[in-house]
Amino acid sequence: MRYIGKQEKSINYSRVGGVPRLIGVVGARSLGYEYADLVGRIVDDLLTRNNHIATGGAIGTDEYAICRLLRTGYSDRCTVFAAWKGFEGFPAKVRAAVRQFKDYGGHIVWGPAGKNEALVKTALLMRNIRLVDACYGLVAFITGDSRGTIFTIKKACAKRKPTVIFPINCDPPEIPNVKWVPLRCGGIWDGAVKAVYLR
């Protein structure tokens, strides 16, 4: 069991019985709005497969996932892993959406950083590690400047978790003992590659 917040209900992320698996949906802050619908359709597809979504609350990919959950009324099927102690740490562009997400039943795992602390960069990386540790698998959208997302992908691959990426105008990251293989399921998953672990 993972306990969300200080006094909120617990969510069991195990794969036992009908309990949903936690799937991370993360990606580049620089991912353009033209990809918002694709991120949303991936979130929708994962939800139809009885998964629970995890994301980080940043602009770009995370923002698109949260907004889709708000529009479809499924905030309660997502957990935001925050780097910050409170709402004021979230980027101004997504702060209102994250507050609404919480008000509509979304879960937030708060981090250690205050808004203007030197600790923020470390807290962001620790948030990504906490998200990977909690997740069964990961779906990531990367662009050429996705350092934080590539860090998260590497952590997921180090744990040999099911990992799918959408490389947008870039190549998949080179990771030892990982081969990226195109998905064959088609539809909204066209263009995605999955990690195949070589040893």
* C-alpha span between 65 and 68 (Å, rounded): 5
Domain span at 127: 20-171
pTM of the model: 0.89
Domain assignment present for 60: yes
Q: Confirm if 54 and 131 have CB atoms less than 8 A apart.
A: yes
CATH of residue 74's domain is 3.40.50.450
CA nearest neighbour of 42 among 199, 195, 196, 190: 190
Domain assignment present for 193: no
Domain assignment present for 11: no
Domain assignment present for 1: no
pLDDT(169) > 80: yes
Alpha helices per DSSP H over the chain: 36-48, 61-72, 92-103, 120-134, 147-158
Q: Phi/psi zone of residue 171: left (φ > 0), alpha (ψ -120 to 50 degrees), beta?
A: beta
Number of domains the chain contains: 1
pLDDT interval class at 113 (50, 70, 90): confident
pLDDT of 13 reads: 44
pLDDT of 19 reads: 66
Domain assignment present for 198: no
Q: What are the pLDDT digits (tens) for 117-158?
A: 677 888 999 999 999 999 999 999 999 888 999 999 999 999
